[in-house]
Amino acid sequence: MKPIRKAVFPVAGLGTRFLPATKAIPKEMLPIVDRPLIQYAVDEAREAGIEQMIFVTGRGKGAIEDHFDIAFELEKTMSERGKDLSVLEPTRLGPGNCAYVRQQEPMGLGHAIWCARDIVGDEPFAIFLPDEFMHGSPGCMKQMVDAYDRVGGGNLLSVLEVPREQVSSYGVIAPGRRDGALTEVTGLVEKPRVDEAPSNLIISGRYILQPEVMQVLAAQEKGAGGEIQLTDAMAAMIGSQPFNAVTFDGARYDCGSKAGYIQANLAIALERDDMADDVRAFALDLLK
Ligand code: G1P
């Protein structure tokens, strides 16, 4: 069984839901307290033993490349002033640890992943949707890699339960046998109507997939919303490849929505020794 060494981060989306904040900065650079969303996703990947980060970017996403590069002037000035540089350490991705590829047209998540096919090559890989902020210890991908080792490979999704009326915003699984946090996936449907959804277990933005998915995506078939959907490509593999889901033991914030983004900021602020007391006092006062 090959280990999971590579991760794909589709970050080409326009982020229209956060306009005007995202007019000139990528939505993945929006901070949760003082770390951008994309940094949390990369840290989660590293914790799971992943070595190479592949970013599928687009126009206007240069800030992500700058973020993971050396900032020579900044570091020089900080050193001269005797400032602590350790805060920048997680932002360093060396040439062997990252790659950038462009998705030139917004043709869907499946298409974005397919853009990374040459860099992924012939090995299983992880996918992170950075909007989905998964907060826990161990992190979501580490929990998935552990489950992947236990089940002996195949394809693995992270899932969580949502209220029925929300399922049509997501990819939904048809569950089979259950064993603790592990659920067999017998079917998948992207953004179903509420009355047609096979369950209320949604795909929450983390995947471990076998490289054959790239061959399915190569057909470029369009699905929900007229886009090339990753969910459809995965659905086509069920039956010929093992598919399982793991329910994440931790908190999930949908940072593609404004309310989820504020909740994530509040939750992280309340965990931080340097600000928890102030923020708690302020929030309680506000709610009086
Ligand atoms: C994408 C996936 C969907 C998944 C969701 C998680 O949808 O296509 O299956 O459940 O992310 O956030 P999007 O949010 O890009 O419409």
Residue 136 near residue 204 (C-beta atoms within 8 A): no
pLDDT given for residue 203 in this prediction? 97
| Average pLDDT score over the chain | 95
Per-residue model confidence (pLDDT) at position 271? 96
Query: Which of 9, 114, 129 best tests ligand 1's pocket when mutated (most atoms within 8 Å of CB)?
Result: 129
**157 touches ligand 1 (CB under 6 Å):** no
Provide mean pLDDT across the span 18-32.
95
- 61-81 pLDDT, tens digit per residue, is 999 999 999 999 999 999 999
Whether 170 lines ligand 1, by a CB cut-off of 6 Å, is yes
Task: Burial-class residue 177 by CB neighbours within 10 Å (0-12, 13-18, 19+).
Answer: exposed
The answer to whether 211 touches 151, Cβ cutoff 8 Å, is no
Angle at 46 between CA 125 and CA 11, to 5 degrees: 60
pLDDT in tens, 166-195: 999 999 999 999 999 999 999 999 999 999
Beta strand 35-36 with 155-161 is unpaired
Over residues 195-239, the pLDDT tens digits come to: 999 999 999 999 999 999 999 999 888 888 899 999 999 999 999
Q: Among 203, 207, 232, 257, which residue has the most ligand 1 atoms within 8 Å of its CB, making it the best to mutate?
A: 203
The CA–CA distances, whole Å, from 38 to 8, 57, 74, 209 equal 12, 12, 20, 20
Ligand 1 atom nearest the C-alpha of 170 is 10
Any ligand 1 atom below 6 A from CB of 113: no
Q: Is residue 26 lining ligand 1, measured as CB closer than 6 Å? A: no
Enter the tokens of residue 122. 């012939």
| CB-ligand 1 contact for 124 (6 Å cutoff) | no
* Residue 15 pLDDT level (bands cut at 50, 70, 90): confident
Q: Predicted confidence band at 14 (pLDDT cuts at 50, 70, 90)?
A: confident
Residue 225 gets the label, from left (phi > 0), alpha (psi -120 to 50) or beta, of: left
Looking at residue 92, its pLDDT comes to 93
Closest C-alpha to ligand 1, atom 1: 170
pLDDT of 281 over the 90 cut: yes
Is the separation of the CB atoms in 4 and 144 below 8 Å? no
Domains of the chain: 6-256 (3.90.550.10)
Could you report the per-residue pLDDT of 110-167, keeping only the tens digit for each? Answer: 999 999 999 999 999 999 999 999 999 999 999 999 999 999 999 999 999 999 999 9
Distance CA(40)–CA(56), nearest Å, equals 17
CA 202 – CA 189 distance, rounded (Å): 10
For residue 197 and ligand 1, the question of a CB distance below 6 A is answered with: no
Written as six digits, the tokens of 18 are: 């956060």
CA dist., res. 43 & res. 284, Å (int):
32
Please state whether beta strands 201-209 and 155-161 pair in parallel, antiparallel, or not at all (unpaired): antiparallel
Lookup: tokens for 280: 């708690």
Quick check: helix, strand or coil at residue 20? coil
User: Is the pLDDT at 95 greater than 90, yes or no?
Assistant: no
3-state secondary structure of 51: coil
Q: Encoding tokens for residue 186?
A: 């017998």
User: What number does the ligand 1 atom closest to the CA of 229 have?
Assistant: 8
170 C-alpha to ligand 1 centroid (Å): 5
Entry pTM: 0.96
d(CA 38, CA 21): 16
- Strands (DSSP E) contained in the chain are 6-10, 31-32, 35-36, 52-57, 98-102, 125-128, 132-135, 155-161, 171-179, 182-190, 201-209, 243-247, 251-254
